[in-house]
Amino acid sequence: GQGGSSGGERRFVETLARAAVAVGVAGVFIETHQDPDNSTSSDGPNMLPLKDMPALLERLMAFDRIAKGL
């Protein structure tokens, strides 16, 4: 951790979201920001760049369809 906040590992966001989708989670909460490395929030290290969200959501939706056999 970093004192009052976690260290953050944005590189694990997609893997963890895919795991959630695979076990049937109906929704995910993903922190995002247009410039997470310069965010004034302590969550910056956890945030994905906003520009990366559309592609990630498409991949998660495709994975969800596969996981549900659709």
pLDDT in tens, 51-66: 999 999 999 999 999 9
Burial class (CB in 10 A: 0-12, 13-18, 19+), 47: buried
Q: How many domains, in total, are found in the chain?
A: 1
- Residues 10-38 as b/e (b if ≥16 CB within 10 A, e otherwise) read beebbeebbebbeeeeeeeebbbbeebee
- Domain of 37 in residue numbering reads as 10-67
DSSP annotation of 1 reads -
Better pLDDT: 43 or 2: 43
Mean pLDDT of the chain: 88
Asked if the structure places residue 29 within a domain, the reply is yes
Residues sharing a CB contact under 8 Å with residue 59, sequence separation 6 or more, in sequence order: 14, 18
Asked if the structure places residue 14 within a domain, the reply is yes
| Statement: the pTM of the whole predicted model exceeds 0.75 | yes
In the predicted model, what is the mean pLDDT of residues 9-35?
93
Asked if the structure places residue 16 within a domain, the reply is yes
